[in-house]
Every structure is written in structure tokens, then in C-alpha cells.
Amino acid sequence: MGWLVVKLQPVYLKAMVLGNAAVKNRNADVRGRSFWLAPLLAVGSVACLAQTPVFTRYPIPTSGSFLDGIVAGPDGNVWFTEFQGNKIGRITTAGVVTEFSVPTANSGPASITTGPDQNLWFGEALGHKIGRISTNGVITEFPLNSPYAGPGWITSGPDGNLWFIAGGAAIGRITPAGVITFLGGPPSPFPPAITSGPDGNLWFTTLANSIGRITTSAVLLPEFPIPTPGSQPEGIAAGSDGNVWFTEIQGNKIGRITTTGIITEFSVPTPMALPWVIVSRPDGTLWFTENPGKIGKITSAGLITEFTVPFYSVPYRIALGPDGNIWFTDYYADQIVKMILPSISPTPVPSSLIMLCTGLAALIIWQGWRARFIGAA
């Protein structure tokens, strides 16, 4: 609603000019009523705008980099991968970018996470290695030496190790010292993503339309089928509510699953939004990317709000920054985007405020027509 008020504000201003000019010659009473609308609309506009996030974009020096993974680092910066640029990037919360080249050519760095050792770890999807980069930019690579190639998604596990998805439907584990173990994989096809769950297990999405689990002892547990057929689950994250949340690209839904396997699905308002990657905030909300050009928010109760990026953007992976804001990679536009959240309570917008914003919009339109009519009389 804040956007609506902002967009209509010029109409209101024009209406006030016309109305006040007409009132000056015709009706002092109308002038008085127009006068008290101004502060009301100003206060209402501020209240509505307070609900609106601000998007700031930071260009990356390397063109055609195809930005992929993103995560908050232990050093107070945000770190990201450049799949085509073959680099690991670091950006301060003020937007200063530094790039570090991966030693292996055309390695295809993809997902990235913060490890238990305060380093950043990433998968080299084309280099068939797991990479580690220190906060001062020193990169070490660990070859997989396995037919399970193409490590993609990687996450920090509850056992002090790093867990990753590799090609061939395999799940891998690497210690901070670089010791790699392949644990086989589920009977389902290639798992797209993996995360640490609230129950001490690793949870992952599968292309068999299910949610899977594996213990830190490498025991695969029964999978939970997703109610929507062909939903194509992708991103997955543990919520602060003690549940696990995931996206459904084809189902166009956000899913919530309890640790006992009860699944609830929530439809994304925009048709064919392609919800992709999801991240949790400590306030109980989860944020996810939509393509093209939107960021979604869902509360623990399932209320979804969508925000349109005000410039061309293809949001891909998403992270909670060290500054408390939402950061995401823009896959095709060679830019990192920061979504500055309103400095207000993150709970859903009160119905009273929605009514206020709606009423103010109606007043603006009414005032414009009324002033235009009086001016023409």
C-alpha cells in the first residue's frame, strides 16, 4: 500500500493546487477541509512507507560472472560465488567488493556456507572439488576423487563437519581438515539442496517429490512425500519455529514440514513465481527468491507477502546478512542486491494499518476528482 500512496502522491499534489486555487475564489469551507487532509495524508504515507523495504544493488567487477551462492561470513561481511567468473567474492555491508580467483580453472563455484572453523566452504560443481577460503582470501581445494562428481549445495552440519550434495544422487561429508567421505545417497534422484535440521539430522529435497533425512551417522531415514504431485522441491532451510521449510518450483508453493513429517503447503500469490531458495530469520519469518524480480516473505503461520524488485533482477540464492538485512545474488545482472528491511516489528502488517493506507488512497483519489471538478466550475 505504501507504493500505491507514493505513486498517487503527484495526483494528490496536483489536486491540492487546483483545489486550493478554486477554493480561494469559491469556497472557504472546502479550503478548510483540504487543509486538514494534508497532515493526515503525510502521516499516513510515512506509516505505509515504513512497511516498504529498500533495494540497493552493488555491481560486481567481473562481467558475465553468473552469481550463485551467498552467505553471511564470520567476519561481518557477505560472501558469494561467481559460477562463470570462477571467483569467490566478498562484499562489505557498505558495498565494497573484493574478488578472489579459484585456482582450478572453470571450477564452477556454486553453493557456499560458513564452516565451524570460521572459514567459508564452497562446492566446485565443474571442478569436482570442495573449496575452502579463509576470511583473508586464501583458498584451499580438496579433490573428490570419486565418480560422485559435481558438488553443488553445501551446508554446515550439527556434527562440526560440512555436508554437501554431489552428482549421482550422493551425499558427502568433509571434515574441517579436508577428509572426505561419501555416504551414498537416497533411492530418490539427485537431491537439489541440503540443510541442518532442528532435530540434529540433515534434511534435503529430492527430485522424487519428497523430503529426505540423513543422520550424522550416515543413516538414511524414510522420506516424506510432498502432497502436491510434481512440485519439484528445491531450496530448504530450518526455521526458527522448529520446523523445516522448503520451496516448490513447479508447485508454486512454500512447504513446511515438522520433524515428525507433517507437511503443510502455502500457495505463493503470484502464478508461476518459481520460488527457488529460502532462508530463515530469527524473528520467525522466512524469505525466498522468485523469478523474475520478486522476493517473498512467509511467516510461521503461513502468511505470504511479496516484494517487487524495482529494477531488472533475477534473484537466485538468498541469505540473511550480518546486518540483519536480506541479501541475494542476481544471477544474470552481475550484481549483489541488499534488501534493507523496515526498522519496525517484523510481524504481519496490522489490519488497521492496511485500512488506513486504503482509506488514504481513496481520499487522495476523491480529493483529486473533487478539486478538478471545483476548478472546472
Tell me: the pLDDT tens digits for 122-146?
999 999 999 999 999 999 999 998 7
The pLDDT, as a whole number, for residue 23 is 39
Q: Which three cell numbers stand for residue 30?
A: 472546502
pLDDT, tens digit, for every residue of 259-279?
999 999 999 999 999 999 999
* Whole-number Å distance between alpha carbons of 21 and 37: 16
Does residue 46 carry a pLDDT above 90?
A: no
Q: How confident is the model at residue 20 (pLDDT cuts 50, 70, 90)?
A: very low
Confidence band (pLDDT; 50, 70, 90) for 186?
low
Q: Indicate the pTM of the whole model.
A: 0.80
Of 359 and 9, the structure prediction assigns the larger pLDDT to: 359
pLDDT at 56 over 60: yes
The percent of residues in the chain predicted with pLDDT above 70, rounded, is 74
Task: Work out the pLDDT band at 369, boundaries 50, 70, 90.
Answer: low
What pLDDT is stored for residue 16 in this prediction?
A: 34
Residues 57, 18: Cα–Cα separation, whole Å:
39
Instruction: Enumerate the domain spans of the chain.
Output: 2-51+365-376, 54-340
Give the pLDDT confidence score for residue 344 in this predicted structure. 43
* Beta-carbon-side half-sphere exposure of residue 334 (alpha carbons within 13 Å): 11
Task: Please provide the size of the chain in residues.
Answer: 377
Q: How confident is the model at residue 52 (pLDDT cuts 50, 70, 90)?
A: confident
Amino acid identity of residue 367, one-letter, is: Q
Looking at residue 167, what is its pLDDT? Answer: 73
Task: Write the class of the CATH domain 54-340.
Answer: mainly beta
